[in-house]
A = this chain, B = another copy of it.
Amino acid sequence: MSDNIRLALMRQALALYDATDDGATVAACHLQAAVDAEQGLRPMQPGEDIDPEIPEQLRNWLS
């Protein structure tokens, strides 16, 4: 239960970073790592492929 609450709090904070264009700050990157770790996500491993949709989404987001 408190797992869900702390994840929700972190996601709200992360959304605020993104909303204020601070999504690439050191603090936001640490926070993203915390959200990933809370969900048991690992860093990308050798041999794994990047989802081809992600670079496309990034391009759209940056243009």
A residues within 8 Å of B by Cβ?
2, 5-7, 9-10, 12-13, 16-17, 19-20, 25-28, 30-31, 33-35, 37-38
Q: A13 touching B6 by the CB < 8 A rule?
A: yes
Q: A9 touching B16 by the CB < 8 A rule?
A: yes
Which B-chain residue is minimally distant from A14 (CB atoms)?
Answer: B6
- Assembly CA distance A31 to B34 (angstroms): 5
Copies of this protein, total = 2
Which B-chain residue is minimally distant from A33 (CB atoms)?
Answer: B30
Q: Which residues of B contact A35 (CB under 8 A)?
A: 27
Given A9-B12, A30-B33, 8 additional A-B pairs, CB 8 A = A5-B13, A6-B12, A9-B13, A25-B37, A27-B37, A28-B34, A30-B30, A34-B34
